[in-house]
Structure 1
Amino acid sequence: MKRVARIINWTLALLGALAIAFLLFRAYDSRRGPPLEIWHKYAPRELTAEQMDAASWDDYLAAEATLFSAIRENVTKRLEPDEQVPFNRYFEGSPVYPGHFARDWNRSYILEPEGGAPSGAVVMLHGLTDSPYSLRHIAARYRDRGFVVVAIRLPAHGTTPAALTQVHWPDWVAAARLAVREARKRAPAPSPLHIVGFSNGGTIALKYALDAVENKSLAQADRIVLISPMVGVTRLARFAGLAGLPAILPAFAKAAWLSVMPEFNPFKYNSFPVNGARQSYLLTNSLQTLVASYARRDRLAGLPPVLTFQSVMDFTVSTPAVLSGLYDHLPANGSELVLFDLNRNAKFGPLFRASAETKLSRLLPSAVRNYSLAIVTNDGEGSGEVERVVEAGGTSERRRRLGVDYPDGVFSLSHVALPFPLDDSLYGLTPASTEDFGVHLGALDLRGERGTLIVSLDSLSRMSSNPFFNYLAEKIEAHLPPKAPPAAESPAPAKSNDGAKEQGSRKTRRK
């Protein structure tokens, strides 16, 4: 017994020494790199989860307006001269300053269909460090099919990166509840209700739907659509909170941040605090616990069908967790999983890691599944992408050519690419000229020496739009009511001021 006790003591002492060494390294490392700026320090005060549960949509918009006014007073108007530069989104003279655009997509919004009552409602939940901008193309597709769209800015987003140092994950789920209440108010049951979640927003969508299985006061969705969902994160994420411990001492305040970068993106934070990673881990851990618990108690039958789009080569979230943490537990309820394989073009072959080449086959061993599986892939011979589909409960595969191929030089999709078409003005590879957000991040063709740009080449060369976006949208629209035919024109139209009506106005049109 004494020998065992000694081994335990030595093990604990070693772990303690490693922990101290890690904290000392974090403290040292935090002293390097760029300093914290005012947007890393000023966090506007959001509504709490309890306040959101008691709030209306108008209340949330009013609080949001107060937030943005506070940022203008406490950040924009207090910038030092060396911070008033063209690439700073908080500088009013910058081309990427969101307040100059026709619409500030950092804010919550509602899109209403033209003519008549909505045929359904959809709630849009964006990802971590993101904004409502990320799902606007899918939102427009829903609106054009007669749905009213409720796209909420999740707490601590769209304002300053510092806001993510204060947020707690239940705040995000409370915001989802508020958005669903507003969606159901505008399109009451039995009209269909969908929830679309991107990345961390996918986790929130699933958490809401699981809560609604047992809490009958919550309106249950008829379908969940997930895009690059954060069902699982790396195991190291559970220790993210430890990385921020040195920040207790003011001299090591930067230890509270995993990255400190210039804020040149008008609709997404570039800097990322430790608490953001910590809260995303806690949220995904809560989700996985719920899924496992419901599966044991046979409660997943109450979950609506889930349609998921996922890149096989996702570096941000765990693609295997989408299967093992969610789809392997789902009942046969009409769910579907769509995987985008890497581009197996021969010219990339020698450069692929062996693990990348075999990842798809390792993800999908031969099995009969409760859900439909679609794989978008190619044979490496330059003959275009193929959709390979195996229906739920079956083993035979059907194929169809999509008539779309990967653009030259693109070897895979990324976590962030899926909800953006190639002509997205900010992230698109071939941006449309109809909008201008001050920079075309997705179209930059970078060549030059390292250390020249204000950010790493890696962050700008990542694929940020989806050549298969129309395919993705059509898969979603397959579950929507048929598109209404255009109304016949009156032979003698009367004068009207309807042309002044703004589509998607944030004004509440129903009380």
Structure 2
Amino acid sequence: MSILENILIKLPWWSVRKATRILIHAFTGALLLSVIAFALYIKSLPSLSTWHTTTLKNEFTADSEVKDFDAYMALEDKLFSELDSEVYDKILPNERNRLYRYTRDSFSDPKRWKKAWNRSFELPVKNPKMGVLLLHGMSDSPYSLHTQAEYLHKHGVWVVAMRMPGHGTIPSGLREIKWQDMAAAVNIGMERLTQKLGDKPIHIMGYSTGAPLALNYTLSALDDSSLTLPSSLIFYSPAIGVTKAAPLAIWQSRIGHLFNLPKLEWNSINPEFDPFKYASFAVNAGDQVYRVCNEVQKNLDKYLSNSKPKKPFPPVLSFASIIDSTVTVSDTVHKFYERLPKGDHSLVLFDMNHKFNSYHLVKKNISTSIQKLRDTPSNPRYRFDLISDMNSTDGHLMQITNKKIRKKLDLAWPRDIYSLSHLAMPISNHDPLYGDRDAPKSPGIELGYLAMYGETSVLQTSAGSFLRQRWNPFHAYTKQRVLEFMGLE
């Protein structure tokens, strides 16, 4: 007879029933407390606004009948007319705010700017030397690469910038977007440039999620001769890898769908005061970044494992901050550059400002991860440039190439900046919206230099959102590297 049977025989039956009742009551109580806590959590989340709940019907998808750039632009005309009628015209009185982009003529109204930077655009040129396709990141808009568009155009480059589906309008566009929709838009942009430039070189420049979208297209073109293979790829803050928790986050959104709790579809719900970038971020958007990154890894596996003669991988130039809270920088090194076939590839990594080390303010785990990236070993597959003031005697930055000092740069960290950021990498310090205090005057809000001091719980948004670095003090250096890489200087 087992020990359990002995115990049950010795225990009176009423004791077993009592213990069972206690367990049931405890479970029920715990469940009730969980439900109450969950309800209080949902109630504590910010309220959703018109721009979180409205669905625009004229948005492009991979299943749309739209197949070329002109048709894409025509659909955008309908989309932005719908945005006016369904959002701007229907903003509730309590949603109107002089700082919000969806209040007409507010400081953040995109129409204050002379050009519609939330929309796809094309900058043609007579007798172009080459073409470039610009791909912005998740939650962004074509504005993020407008400086690159302008200086490349002046150098004789035909520019096409694609507005990714779900972007440039209202944050609700991120709830249902699929990475395949964005990939279809990339195809349309490349077809446009091929049509206009014929056999001339065509490059792709991608910021953040624009990088895996560019890689997805490139890997397809390496396998499909009907697609135009890019002559090179240029990336800013490339989203090669994201946090390991990303695949789990989508369940939050699915629970929200199942129980009609729309707030759960959002990672963050914030005031929309940026005219060209969403402040609110849908859970689905992060999931789509994770999915396209996985797709790139699978296609790269396939390309590298093919033993048959294959087209060479185009040269890649990337700029990244050694500190990036949006993407995993180590994945850019280990999951991409270290896997590339040997070629004319370069990774430029901007170190943090070493003057701040003496303040002992950097978290220990951050310091450890940064040091690992600094110690990235030399690799014959690519060139690794660390831009750092480490061991500098006069504060000037050094270009440390493959762990050897190549040259001293005429650059130094601004006194009050301790690092770059994911957002800052492609942005000029002269940008009217995101630039420094010496930038040209913005026609509306200025977000680049808003570090403020005062009491908590006063501002309409968190003070932390103002402290994140938004412009790159070394933009001139990245510009020069891009022009040299493309053979324009």
Which residue number corresponds to residue 69 of structure 1? 81
Hey, what's the Cα distance between the residues in 2 that align with 1:141 and 1:402?
22
**Does structure 2 conserve the Cα–Cα contact (< 8 Å) formed by 1:291 and 1:325?**
no
Q: Secondary structure at the match of 1:409?
A: coil
> 1:336/1:387 Cα in 2 relative to 1: closer, same or farther (>3 Å)?
same
Deviations 1:380-415 (CA, angstroms, capped at 9, x unpaired): 65521111113xxxxx72421211111111111001
Amino acid at match of 2:480: E
Which residue number corresponds to residue 15 of structure 2? none
Please say which of residues 363-372 and 415-424 is displaced more in the overlay: 363-372
1:213 pairs with 2:222 = yes
> 1:378/1:172 Cα in 2 relative to 1: closer, same or farther (>3 Å)?
same
> 1:132/1:27 Cα in 2 relative to 1: closer, same or farther (>3 Å)?
farther
**Does structure 1 conserve the Cα–Cα contact (< 8 Å) formed by 2:141 and 2:168?**
yes
Hey, what's the Cα distance between the residues in 2 that align with 1:305 and 1:463?
29
Which residue number corresponds to residue 61 of structure 2? 48
Q: 2:316 aligns with which of 301, 306, 325?
A: 306
Deviations 1:78-102 (CA, angstroms, capped at 9, x unpaired): 1111222101101113121112321
Hey, what's the Cα distance between the residues in 1 that align with 2:109 and 2:421?
26
> 1:305/1:340 Cα in 2 relative to 1: closer, same or farther (>3 Å)?
same
Q: Secondary structure at the match of 1:124?
A: strand
Which structure would you say has the larger Rg? 2
**Does structure 1 conserve the Cα–Cα contact (< 8 Å) formed by 2:201 and 2:230?**
yes
Where do 1:485-496 residues align within 5 Å? none
Which residue number corresponds to residue 357 of structure 1? 367
Which residue number corresponds to residue 93 of structure 1? 105
Amino acid at match of 1:427: Y
> 1:353/1:120 Cα in 2 relative to 1: closer, same or farther (>3 Å)?
same
Which residue number corresponds to residue 427 of structure 1? 434
Q: Which has the higher contact order (CA 8 A, sep 6+)?
A: 1
Which residue number corresponds to residue 193 of structure 1? 202
**Total equivalences in the alignment:** 456
Shift of 1:211: 0.9
**Does structure 2 conserve the Cα–Cα contact (< 8 Å) formed by 1:26 and 1:255?**
no
Hey, what's the Cα distance between the residues in 1 that align with 2:52 and 2:81?
17
**Does structure 1 conserve the Cα–Cα contact (< 8 Å) formed by 2:398 and 2:405?**
no
Deviations 1:204-252 (CA, angstroms, capped at 9, x unpaired): 0111101111011110000000110110000100111111133225652
**Does structure 2 conserve the Cα–Cα contact (< 8 Å) formed by 1:145 and 1:480?**
no
Please say which of residues 284-293 and 169-178 is displaced more in the overlay: 284-293
Hey, what's the Cα distance between the residues in 2 that align with 1:41 and 1:20?
30
Q: Secondary structure at the match of 2:172?
A: helix
Please, which runs of 5 or more residues in structure 2 have no aligned partner?
1-29
Amino acid at match of 2:413: Y
Which residue number corresponds to residue 442 of structure 2? 436
**Does structure 2 conserve the Cα–Cα contact (< 8 Å) formed by 1:424 and 1:431?**
no
Identity %: 32
Shift of 1:187: 1.4
Q: 2:151 aligns with which of 137, 141, 144?
A: 141
Shift of 1:22: 9.4
**Does structure 2 conserve the Cα–Cα contact (< 8 Å) formed by 1:198 and 1:228?**
yes
Shift of 1:453: 1.0
Q: 1:377 aligns with which of 388, 391, 403?
A: 388
Where do 1:454-493 residues align within 5 Å? 454-482=460-488
Shift of 1:186: 1.7
Q: Secondary structure at the match of 1:196?
A: strand
Q: Secondary structure at the match of 2:479?
A: helix
Deviations 1:302-336 (CA, angstroms, capped at 9, x unpaired): 32111111111111000010011111111112111
Hey, what's the Cα distance between the residues in 2 that align with 1:21 and 1:324?
45
Where do 1:297-336 residues align within 5 Å? 297=306, 302-336=312-346
**Does structure 2 conserve the Cα–Cα contact (< 8 Å) formed by 1:340 and 1:375?**
yes
> 1:311/1:23 Cα in 2 relative to 1: closer, same or farther (>3 Å)?
farther
Shift of 1:43: 2.2
Hey, what's the Cα distance between the residues in 2 that align with 1:268 and 1:39?
13
Which residue number corresponds to residue 487 of structure 1? none
Hey, what's the Cα distance between the residues in 2 that align with 1:360 and 1:92?
44
Shift of 1:367: 4.0
TM-score relative to the length of structure 1 = 0.85
**RMSD, matched Cα:** 2.3
**Does structure 2 conserve the Cα–Cα contact (< 8 Å) formed by 1:311 and 1:414?**
yes
1:226 pairs with 2:239 = no
Which residue number corresponds to residue 282 of structure 1? 291
Deviations 1:419-475 (CA, angstroms, capped at 9, x unpaired): 111121111123522x52411111112111221111111111001100111111111
Please say which of residues 152-161 and 179-188 is displaced more in the overlay: 179-188
TM-score relative to the length of structure 2 = 0.88
Q: 2:134 aligns with which of 118, 124, 127?
A: 124
> 1:346/1:58 Cα in 2 relative to 1: closer, same or farther (>3 Å)?
closer
Please, which runs of 5 or more residues in structure 1 have no aligned partner?
1-17, 391-395, 484-511
